[in-house]
Amino acid sequence: MAIYLNDVSRTFGEYLLIPGLTTKDCVPLNVSLQTPLVKYKKGKEAAIRLNVPIVSAVMQSVSGPELAIELARHGGISFIYGSQPIESQTEMVRKVKKFKSGFVVSDSNLTPDHTLAGVVRLVNHTGHSTIGITDDGTPNGRLLGLVASRDYRVEKDAPETPVKNFMTPFSDLIVGKLGLTLSEANQIIWSNKLNTLPVIDEAQRLQYFVFRKDYDSHRENPYELLGSDKKLLVGAGINTRDYKERVPALVEAGADVLCIDSSDGYSEWQRDTLHWIKETYGDRIPTGAGNVVDQEGFLYLAEAGADFVKVGIGGGSICITREQKGIGRGQATALLDVAKARDDYYEKHGIYVPVCSDGGLVHDYHMVLALAMGADFLMMGRYFARFDESPSKKLKIGNNFVKEYWGEGSNRAKNWQRYDMGGSEALKFEEGVDSYVPYAGKLKDNLALTLGKVKATMCSCGATSIKDLQANAKITLVSSTSIVEGGAHDVILKE
């Protein structure tokens, strides 16, 4: 006879938070949302800590380079989707790492003999308005000049005009010498009212650019998630099939953390993948695993070497795993069970393995519930798919704007590796749907509103940190009638 669990499989919508004492110091400004992303030993700090407890899902319709850049600028991290060729995934990782690094290697370069038409093509291709003009058109050629958007007018200048006729020549440039610090470079920029400072070596070869906007960007985004090299942090998804080829390429491209992407992480395939990564790289490239829904699954992956463990099967808005296979567990119940296993593991071994809650979040307050129930951070897909920065198309259907959103288990994604059960390489049946989500605008504006709600809710619980929340939050089950009572009722709503 099968093992029968007596507990009811519950989700976040069945719970409410009970207010705690809100002290005068418990205001949103004092709330810290910092949280560990990867495991650490007792008495130590995690090698990577998030400034906000939010990461974006390993999905084609969610985590491209534009969203990864924007989320990292606001304190979270994205996992660039792995259901694509290794070459294109590594190029996405490189794009994120190049965006904000203080000293930027130029990837927009031409020679003086190129034309304005070539400048326009390059700007349209890269999106970069500053072009280094070198003797051979390479990033490290001898610097001869600079072209910025102020140097030409597309509507009036002839397309065949040579670059040398309108570039700012080297003799008129203020440059920095290789070896100066980022602080010194920024001082030159401010003292001379520059937008861009080229950095050259003794032979006048271009080495880097330093941009004023990067300094301004950091002031505007104080929660930016940066490494010691001042580059934005970015993650990448991998599978259990081609990891021996994909992982080295991602490490070389600069990925900071990896995540094995699977609908069911309690498997020997994930164990073997973790073992190979740890044997090959040690602690150089932290790797998360999952998904699991109970203590056994967590302990299996923790003992295999996972740096964090994802929780959740079938709770995503586009996931139909529970319908197709009858596999899964209510997200709240799964999270509570796994969080207990994490705490017990920490007490026994002195190693804290963070838990990521993946799926099941419908309202913003569900995020606080998930954190209170033990999640260290949250992975979301639908939430981010709505924004300008997600990779999917923005469409108008009727009178409403929407964005496309499809699951990795859908035929559109063709991500058979995520649902791999061995055998032939094919998606045997769908575990995700192809859909639309209401268009919501920019990530920055929406995330600010969400985090404002999260902080306000935490203050109502009397907590100013995630650890405070987990230690002191009070949670109650609600009846179906209580859920109705929680919305507008017994009134006539105005149009």
Is 212 one of the annotated active-site residues of the chain? no
**Nearest-angstrom CA–CA distance, 22 and 463:** 8
Report the range of poorest mean pLDDT among 175-179, 335-339, 454-458: 175-179
How high is the mean pLDDT of the chain? 90
pLDDT in tens, 350-381: 999 999 999 889 999 999 999 999 999 999 99
pTM, two decimals, is: 0.80
Answer yes or no: are the C-beta atoms of 97 and 232 closer than 8 Å: yes
Question: DSSP assignment of 14-60, as one string?
Answer: GEEEEP----TT-SGGG----EESS-EETTS--SSEESSSEEE-S-T
Query: What's the whole-number mean pLDDT along residues 137-145?
Result: 95
Say whether pLDDT at 1 is over 90: no
Structure tokens at 44: 């130590």
| Residue appearing with tokens 């290697």 | 105
Q: What pLDDT score was predicted for residue 412?
A: 60
Point out the catalytic residue in the list 319, 356, 459, 461: 319
Distance, in Å, from the CA atom of 337 to the CA atom of 177, rounded to the nearest integer, reads 57
- Given a contact cutoff of 8 angstroms between Cβ atoms, the answer to whether 254 and 123 are in contact is no
Reply yes or no on whether the pLDDT at 254 is more than 80.
yes
Terminal alpha carbon distance of the chain = 57
Backbone angles phi, psi at 202, to 5 degrees: -65, -25
For residue 412 the two structure tokens come to: 């559109």
The dihedral formed by the CA atoms of 327, 296, 48 and 73, expressed in degrees to the nearest 10 = 20
| pLDDT value for 416 | 45
Query: Quick check: is 319 catalytic?
Result: yes
State the CB neighbour count (10 A cutoff) for residue 469: 23
In the predicted structure, residue 213 carries a pLDDT above the cut 90? no
pLDDT in tens, 297-318: 999 999 999 999 999 997 776 6
What percent of the chain has a predicted confidence (pLDDT) above 90? 73
